[in-house]
A and B are shown apart, each in its own frame.
Chain A
């Protein structure tokens, strides 16, 4: 169904995403972790495009790699963490237990996906018009959810400003 070219690039971006995610989880410096996460986001955007979701690939780059990661880096800059602040106490036992739990979860998920029969052919064709089907669904069937989302964003903006504001926020009187 798919050519070798497609398969090679699919696995290339998949492995890039996984390696970058592992690097992100193990970095001590938040800025390094943020940059590795941007790497994951770009690889995922490529995977979205390869899976036929062209608009979401663009949105992924704009929203995640562009906006959310900038917020992260801004907060890192605001906090101005020193060398001692990023040092974490690590216990080997906790790390082993966490790895075991995550490994068990991965094994379970992989087993479930493996056991599921997926049709190799008969996939829906990728629409040449990348935007119209999404817009149709978004503004008709999901209109209420869309409006609620805009309300959520408004609440988030107000909440973020209130929480991060210096001054007469409860419990901040001492500073």
Chain B
């Protein structure tokens, strides 16, 4: 059961990585990051069956950090959108050399 849960977690994490690498839409990129955090949460929960409740407490912390990250990240997206009128990361190239 734990092994299967870790398999699912690994696959979900890889899908998140795939999304981060392929997508150029800032909003969907953030969603992929959330997906990766969730995949890690799943492995924490699965391993908490082996190693005690500490894993579940850590998932709570990850959830809080994810909420904070989403709030600040999306505020940045809004702010960037006001400036460039786009959320396409391919067209936001101020720092490109």
Contact = CB atoms under 8 A, between A and B. Distances in A.
Interface of A: 1-2, 10-11, 14, 17-18, 21-22, 24-25, 27, 30, 33-34, 37, 40-41, 44, 47-48, 51-53, 55-56, 59-60, 63-64, 67-68, 71-72, 75-76, 78-79, 81, 85-86, 88-90, 94-95, 97-99, 101-103, 105-106, 109-110, 113-114, 116, 118-120, 123-124, 133-134, 136-138, 141-142, 145, 149, 152-153, 155-157, 159-164, 166, 169, 171-172, 175
Interface of B: 1-8, 10-19, 21-25, 27-28, 30-32, 34-35, 38, 41-42, 45-46, 48-50, 52-54, 56-57, 59-61, 63-72, 74-79, 81-83, 86-88, 90
B35 A118 contact: no
Contacts of B67: 63, 67-68, 153, 156
* Top 10 closest pairs, chain A to chain B, by CB: A156-B68, A109-B10, A98-B21, A106-B14, A102-B18, A163-B75, A25-B19, A164-B75, A160-B75, A160-B71
